[in-house]
Amino acid sequence: MLFAREAEVGDPARRVQACSNCHGPRGRGALPAIPPLWGQSARYLTAQLRAWQLGDRKNDGGSQMGSVAARLDDASIAAVAAYYAQARPSEPTK
Q: What is the pLDDT of residue 90?
A: 67
Does residue 38 lie in a domain region? yes
Q: What is the CATH number of the domain that holds 49?
A: 1.10.760.10
Mean pLDDT by 10 residues, the chain (94 residues): 80 92 92 93 98 93 90 94 89 49
Does residue 65 lie in a domain region? yes
The range of the structural domain enclosing residue 41 comes to 5-86
Total count of residues recorded for the chain: 94
Number of domains in the chain: 1
Q: What is the pLDDT of residue 2?
A: 60
Q: What is the pLDDT of residue 63?
A: 87
Does residue 20 lie in a domain region? yes
Alpha-carbon gap, residue 58 to 78, rounded angstroms = 21
Does residue 94 lie in a domain region? no
**Long-range pairs of 60-68 with CB within 8 A, sequence gap ≥ 24:** 64/22, 68/16, 68/17, 68/19
